[in-house]
Amino acid sequence: MGSLTSLLLAAALAAADPPAAPGDASEPDEPRSIEDEVKSGAGVSPVELIPRLELRQSFVRLSSGASSHLTTTEIDIQFLDRLLLRYEGTLQTVSGPNGQVSGFGDTEIDAVGMLGSTPRFVAVLLAGAILDTASQPQLGAGKKQLVFGAGAAIKPLRPWLAYLLVQEQASIAGASTRPDVNQLVVRVGNIVFGPRLAWLKLDLDTVVDLAADQGRFFGKLEAGRLLVGRVGLFVRAGTQLLGTRQVDYSLDAGVRYLFRLGKGKEAAQAR
């Protein structure tokens, strides 16, 4: 499940969207507060270009009886309003019939670039790499891998955001003790924003293992809320719905801090 978590990363609501013209009712107003930022998808949608710092704890129960606990640190740094660099590192503990193994997992580095955006739509590209930095092979996600993909989000209504992500992850080199990886992931997601800076998110993930010629289908539900300033808390639960059984369930809890938006966005908010 650690490799699946790495797979399902992507990008961003516009950090430099032009504001709607005064009196133009066909386009929503630009966010003018933290609440508006959250309701536009900031820090919630995986299709976003919002710099942030995130720490999360994850527990995964496998159908084999083994389990995995992960502590993940994610740092997103924004450049030039249309490019975001992401670093993600993990500390893992895997428990199974043969005992327990702990150590560092693989490191993932991604670059997310914006193709285009309007106040209701955004499209992005993603390119990155997963480095085989795990302290032990069983804590890694396979050999060194290249990651590339694309995503898009649309906002039909102010409290509703829908998005689509398509991402490929494939091995390029690495130790023979690590497995080859060649997987395609398609994620369809919806976010509904509620009162008091709260949100509810549903993700449906189709994972096609091209190397093993197998497919799996996962569902995950997340609930969260921005509590103090730009600090938010979230919890999520997921399970495998279809395909050769690998995962019984997963549980995540985390905290994220949203940095201030780029200058282009701030200028729009000041109007």
State the CB neighbour count (10 A cutoff) for residue 150. 17
Segments of the chain with pLDDT less than 70? 1-43, 260-271
- Residue 268 has a pLDDT of 37
* Amino acid residing at 84: L
Predicted local confidence at residue 265, as pLDDT? 45
Distance, in Å, from the CA atom of 124 to the CA atom of 13, rounded to the nearest integer, reads 9
Alpha-carbon dihedral angle through residues 199, 253, 79, 87, given to the nearest 10 degrees: -150
Enumerate the domain spans of the chain: 2-269
Q: Which CATH architecture has domain 2-269?
A: Beta Barrel (2.40)
Q: What is the dihedral of CA 118, 52, 108, 135, to 10 degrees?
A: -170
Q: Which amino acid is at 128?
A: G
At residue 13, the pLDDT reads 30
pTM of the model: 0.79
**DSSP secondary structure code for residue 37 in this structure:** H
pLDDT of residue 16: 29
